[in-house]
Structure 1
Amino acid sequence: MTKDVIAAEWLKLRSVRSTYFTLAIPVAFLAMAALLALYAANRWDGLTSEDRDHFALSSLSTLNADVTGVCLAVLGVLVVTGEYRTGMIRTTLTVVPRRGSLLHAKAAVVGSVALLAGLTVTLGTFFTVKLIIGDRPIRGQPSGVVAELPELFSRGSAVAVYALLGLGLAVILRSTAGAIVSVFMLWYVVPIIAANLPAPWNERAGSFMLGGLPDQVIGGDNENSIYGSVLPPPIALLVLIAYAALPLTSAAILLNRRDA
């Protein structure tokens, strides 16, 4: 039964246009990263040695990982609220009366797609930019590949957490706008508030923010960011998982208690 439910959820995800629109945005940002890398390479070749000391290019793979995370969080929301909006959720629950199995199937499908998308875009952006930049020592660009892989895998995998967070909030709130705003608050607004707290609470609170956890998972220090870095890697990993697990647990409880 579980395999059938997962297959049905996969079919529903593939059959709606919003899935392709949402996934198209990270792909567009990957293409934009390639264009920016081309511009940076051409600009670098025309600079004097003195001007090159002041020229920099930010990490585009980090940017695209964040963009992909937000897009997949929106997709996680739409997977649920689209059914509530059309009333299809009643048909779904009639066919799959075990609501826990339904939520698990949705989470499995959305989480798998998000994980694949996150790793593809993050790694794809990194290697595309690396290929275009070549051996140019542009400031802000990594010199080696092996040293960057842990961060790339961490940030790419965190996209699945964004998607499951959106899915859980959508079940809890049953509102597209409410769930998307909640994701945006957790991703962008709350970290800004935390960063403006008096020391040392700004770093302590910032360490628990969603955007700062992937770097701490691999022992990074979130240098030049608004996030803190007081959590050891195992704790950071547990907190990251909790961002998905807690909303999904609450969603499972409410899904079993509320009417469709």
Structure 2
Amino acid sequence: MIDVLRSSISAEWLKIRSVRSSYWVIALVLGVVAAAAVFAWIGVRGWDDLPPQRRARFQAPAMEQVFLPLVQLCLAILGVLAITSEYATRSITASLTVRPQRTRLALAKAIVIAGVSLTAGSVFLAGAFSAGRGIVGDRRIPPGYVTSVAEELPTLFWSGLGVGAAGLLGLAAGMILRTTASAVMAMVALLLIAPAMIRFRPGSWQEHVSSMLLPTLPERIADGSVAAVIVLVAYLAVAFGGAVLALNRRDVS
């Protein structure tokens, strides 16, 4: 059983390394690190040019958190492409011929996507955080640059796991919807559109709903919210439960 799963993971790792889209997604993640550094530099330039009374009202969020939803989307798209590309090229038939256990195929893909997403998310967070802190230096600019590095480590850790979760949700969406366009749109709606629309709702309702959206969960978990952990697990359980059910019950054609 373990040997079969290991061979399935090796095959899925080979697949993801052999397609150009994987490298484009990773390159985009690295580009976001550069963008975070540029925006941090622009913020510092603005801060330095302000008189003391204006600095008291200046706000600069941590750039790694500003760009986190975009990185989550990048890895979600990678998860989508890991399965929808096989449906598009009909190579899913060959995959299931070699490995007819569909649940095992889904598990192997999930392990590979989770590993890649966690690694890419960690690289982004480490790069953007280090660049931002290095550029800001000893300036205490609220709200993103007033805490110590040690205080930010839990948020960075859970944010990395949030990127991994986004990659897995993208894979699940691809298994359920089976087309790249529809699965990507579903992830765009979850990660970008829903948080933006919530901002136009009444205050109490906005706070309640936004606390359950994927981009905000890592920070809430880092703050000790058990409810946020439950919501994150529920996201993954429901998505993958539906994905495995769809993969097992539907024909591949």
Normalization by structure 2: what TM-score? 0.90
Gaps of at least 5 residues in structure 2 are none
Report the counterpart of residue 166 of structure 1 in structure 2.
170
Aligned runs of 1:1-260 on 2, under 5 Å?
1-140=4-143, 141-198=145-202, 200-219=204-223, 233-260=225-252
Report the counterpart of residue 224 of structure 1 in structure 2.
none
Gaps of at least 5 residues in structure 1 are 220-231
State the Cα RMSD in Å.
Answer: 2.0
Normalization by structure 1: what TM-score? 0.87
Counterpart-to-counterpart distance in 1, 2:121 and 2:97 = 33
Report the counterpart of residue 226 of structure 1 in structure 2.
none
Structure number with the bigger relative contact order (C-alpha 8 A, sep ≥ 6) is: 2
**Aligned partner letter, 2:161:** S
Counterpart-to-counterpart distance in 1, 2:33 and 2:194 = 27
Identity of aligned pairs, percent? 38
Deviations 1:116-156 (A, max 9, x none): 11122112211121122211223332341111111111112
SS in 2 for 1:57: coil
Counterpart-to-counterpart distance in 1, 2:21 and 2:155 = 29
Change (3 A) 1:90 1:59: same
Counterpart-to-counterpart distance in 1, 2:48 and 2:212 = 41
**Aligned partner letter, 1:251:** A
Q: Alpha-carbon deviation of 1:167? A: 0.5
CA contact (8 A) 1:142 1:148 kept: no
Counterpart-to-counterpart distance in 1, 2:208 and 2:138 = 38
Q: Alpha-carbon deviation of 1:30? A: 0.7
* Number of residue equivalences: 248
